[in-house]
Structure 1
């Protein structure tokens, strides 16, 4: 008998011992256990993926809400800024017109004061000139008559 025969006999004895020790059952049990473990991991991965998709959808919804809220806040701020700008413009125009009116009133008052002062000075000068002229042309008798005539005219006006 040659070596090939003994190799075949050894192989059959080895396969018999493996079958007697229930190694194929242990291998199939280990493979089944590993398959169950992989199946569970796949199910867990599917659940995690679904949860991640739900979280992603929720975060996207929240982001859209935040963007719309930011847009509404921005538009409200722009409207408020525009209203404040218009209000400030109106108040500035009112202030300028009021200050202009006050300046014009002061100018008119200054003109009236200057005219009154010039008139008063002219009257004073006219009185002084008239006194000098009358003093040089009128004697004491004429002066007394003029005084009496003026006094009579004053009494007539007062009554």
Structure 2
């Protein structure tokens, strides 16, 4: 049977094409969806996927494998959570330990500072005592030098006085004694012996 508008033979006569002709479309082609048992292609694909999944879950026991994989993931996550709890506990312990160490270090620092102050005071007292001793020694040394200088000056003055007195005595003796006076004096000393 030929198409009355186009004159081409009609392979499949559908009600939709006849309706187009009757509605005045002049038999222009219109896209018509194919159907199987009254279902559209996407519905057939959806039903096929559902049947495949049902077979996979119940026939091939994939659900057990999926459940086992999920259980494995759950166990791994629980293990990670336990490990995280342990790490947190260890971190808390370390934090407390370091807090104690810091407190101990602060106490040690305070003790060291007090000890250093005590030692500094002792060193300062010793330095003051040593400086006093050194001043006393230097004072004694200066006094000893002054006394030695005085003795030396006195001895020098005595020596000069003796020299001057000796020179004056010679001069007086030589002026007042002549050779005759010396002879008389020597005879007198000899007679007294």
Q: TM-score, normalised by structure 2?
A: 0.60
What are the residue-to-residue correspondences of 1:24-103 with 2, within 5 Å?
25-103=67-145
Deviations 1:30-77 (A, max 9, x none): 243224213311221221122111221122123213322331332233
Name the SS for the 2:177 alignment partner: helix
Structure 1 stretch 104-113 or stretch 53-62: which is displaced more? 53-62
Report the counterpart of residue 24 of structure 2 in structure 1: none
Moved over 6 A (4+): none
Distance change >3 Å, CA 9–CA 135, structure 1 → 2: closer
Q: Which runs of 5+ in 2 are unaligned?
A: 1-36
Report the counterpart of residue 161 of structure 2 in structure 1: 119
Q: Which has the higher contact order (CA 8 A, sep 6+)?
A: 2
Separation (CA, whole Å) in 2 of partners of 1:56 and 1:21? 51
Structure 1 stretch 1-10 or stretch 53-62: which is displaced more? 1-10
Separation (CA, whole Å) in 1 of partners of 2:136 and 2:91? 66
Separation (CA, whole Å) in 2 of partners of 1:55 and 1:135? 114
Q: TM-score, normalised by structure 1?
A: 0.70
Separation (CA, whole Å) in 1 of partners of 2:152 and 2:62? 132
Structure showing greater Rg: 2
Q: Which runs of 5+ in 1 are unaligned?
A: 152-159
Deviations 1:86-122 (A, max 9, x none): 1332122112211111111112111221222122223
Separation (CA, whole Å) in 2 of partners of 1:37 and 1:127? 128
Deviations 1:13-41 (A, max 9, x none): 22323668634542453243224213311
Separation (CA, whole Å) in 2 of partners of 1:27 and 1:17? 18
Deviations 1:107-142 (A, max 9, x none): 211122122212222332232222223225xx76xx
User: Larger % of helix: which?
Assistant: 1
